[in-house]
Structure 1
């Protein structure tokens, strides 16, 4: 009988940390708070966050375009800005390219590694900065 009680106690001790970890599960909205190690999860998190920001950026641009008084020249400038940000994002693959050029990594790519994460982080940072700037621009109208 004593062995059963001790076994049940040990099982309970083993389950509690799992329950606690599940309560703090990492999901897409909070994944940026759980980055580390440069692994596959970081790559996915940065990628998802970048896509989310791209969608939000497009919505903000549409709002700016719809403000009364926005001229064709303003819209053209905004278009140039958005294209320049898209071009900047393309340069984020430089980490992977350099890893090949410097013979640190060898193609063909068969897995995600820290150089891919560097590129994904770069894309996220550009989109985040873009989002903040677009929000600032829109705030000129909204106060």
Structure 2
């Protein structure tokens, strides 16, 4: 009986501690957007998670291709292009600020972070679809 209690305590502790780790970038924050700094933080954390996931999927995809394969080079170029495209997310932020490049820390940073999140989300889905096709 004592052993069962100890096991239950460890199980509950594990569940509680793992939920705190997930809470850092929990997609539930998307349901509580309000147009301020919290939005920027939400999008920022989620896009960082997507970037890590995409890198993992990329490595799995790359492992399915031989060195020197023309598709491996194309995949590498795709990843580089996606990384480079993040710089264009200054456009929606600056458009929302009437094209000013200096901001007062208002919601305009959320526009940039949302743009990056959307790019990373599309990239992640594209890579997942490729991996699914490669594993047929």
TM-score (structure 2 length as normaliser): 0.72
SS of 1:122's equivalent in the other structure is helix
Report the aligned-residue RMSD.
2.1
- Indicate the residue corresponding to 1:142 in structure 2: 135
Would you say how many aligned residue pairs link Structure 1 and Structure 2? 112
Instruction: Give the match's secondary structure for 1:131.
Output: helix
Uncovered stretches (5+) of structure 1, i.e. residues with no partner: 1-26
Are 1:133 and 2:123 matched, yes or no?
Answer: no
Q: Summarize deviations over 1:54-90 as a string: whole Å, max 9, x none.
A: 0000000000011155752111100111111112111
Residue 124 of structure 1 deviates from its aligned partner by 0.2
Equivalent of 1:32 in 30, 33, 46: 30
Using the size of structure 1 for normalisation, the TM-score is: 0.68
Does residue 81 of structure 1 match 2:74?
A: no
Cα distance in structure 2, aligned partners of 1:70 and 1:48: 34
Distance in 1, matches of 2:123 and 2:109, equals 21
State which structure, 1 or 2, has the greater radius of gyration over its C-alpha atoms. Answer: 1
4+ residue runs over 4 A deviation? 68-71
Task: Map 1:1-143 onto structure 2 (within 5 A).
Answer: 27=23, 28-29=25-26, 30-35=28-33, 37-67=34-64, 72-98=69-95, 102=98, 107=102, 109-111=103-105, 113-143=106-136
- C-alpha spacing 1:110/1:73, structure 2 compared with 1 (3 Å): same
Task: Give the unaligned 5+ runs of structure 2.
Answer: 1-22
Gap change, CA 1:132 and 1:32, over 3 Å in 2: same
Question: 1:7 aligns to what?
Answer: none
